Amino acid sequence: MIYEEGPMRLAALMVTLLMALAGTASADDRVVDDRMADDRVADDRVVGGERVSIEDHPWVVYLTDASGFQFCGGTLVTPTKVVTAAHCAVGRTTRNTRVVVGRGDKNSDEGEVVRLASRPWVHPDYVAADRGDDIAVLTLRDAVDQEPLPPAGPEDGELYAEGSRARVLGWGRTGEQAPASRYLLAATVPVMSDEDCSAAYFQYDEATMTCAGYPEGGVDTCQGDSGGPMVAGGKLIGVTSWGEGCAREGKPGVYSRVAAYHDVLREQLDS
Ligand code: 4AZ
């Protein structure tokens, strides 16, 4: 997550260019340079994305398959319920889905790996992320101790106001062509107006989506961050859903508008 088209990326490009001029660069060198740049993005906390501790964000979780491969994020909203994206949960079984709780570093063995108690609940109207209703709820077999994050409700309209700042978190890619992050990253993005979201995407639906990012791009969620949290006012206001590429100018990230699903979530969380 947290793509950053900033100075480090530019620096990596310059290095590649200089090496090419010196006759030493190959396509493979370029990949290595990109990786190094991305590591520095994660470690040096440059503008946009930064490493954050899981202890400060105990409700953010990631999903893996049975082999341990991280494919999405999620948010604990009660000790046994995780909100994620429908496109992360559709078709998944209890056998091939794990929820990793309390682990900021994918390579550590801290935290818990929790199994599902049942097949995921997927919003019944879900068809595809850019058609809306990209929301799902997972039920954990064992309750966890981590503090949950309450979902936004109808009273939280101001959290979706234009320019309101939100935090987005995840272990996804740090660039469209970059590998996923080893560490939990976070970034701050401004919520865009429904007009601007609609201008960016014909599929945008203001009733069930919100979008966020800077007009010039540069900070965003990316592949692998899906299902993870968009947070403001101490509440889960969005679920990372879709967008055209990552951090592109004029192409903000799109998030499921959690407040719009208050009643249906209530029903799921109480069941
Ligand atoms: C994805 O493929 C994805 N830039 C997630 C977020 C965004 C784009 C794609 C938003 O999971």
Place of tokens 């063995």: 109
Rounded-to-integer distance, Cα 179 and Cα 247, Å: 15
Place of tokens 């396509």: 27
The reported pTM is 0.85
Residues serving a catalytic function are 87, 134, 226
pLDDT confidence of residue 21: 39
Calculate the alpha carbon distances from 127 to 7, 86, 134, 167 in Å: 39, 9, 8, 27
Closest ligand 1 atom, CA of 213?
4
Residues 201-231: tens digit of each pLDDT: 999 999 999 999 999 999 999 999 999 999 9
Of 167, 52, 49, 63, the closest CA to residue 104 belongs to 52
Q: How far is the CA of 19 from the centre of ligand 1 (A)?
A: 32
User: Quick check: CB of 253 below 6 Å from ligand 1?
Assistant: yes
Rounded-to-integer distance, Cα 112 and Cα 156, Å: 32
Q: How far is the CA of 99 from the centre of ligand 1 (A)?
A: 20
Mutate to test the pocket of ligand 1, among 226, 244, 251 (most ligand atoms within 8 A of CB): 226
Mutate to test the pocket of ligand 1, among 171, 223, 239, 251 (most ligand atoms within 8 A of CB): 223
User: Quick check: CB of 84 below 6 Å from ligand 1?
Assistant: no
pLDDT confidence of residue 49: 86
Rounded-to-integer distance, Cα 216 and Cα 154, Å: 31
Res 111 pLDDT > 60: yes
Res 71 pLDDT > 50: yes
Do 240 and 227 touch, CB atoms closer than 8 A?
A: yes
Looking from the CA of 21 toward its CB, the CA atoms found within 13 Å total 6
Main-chain dihedrals φ then ψ at residue 176, nearest 5 degrees? -55, -35
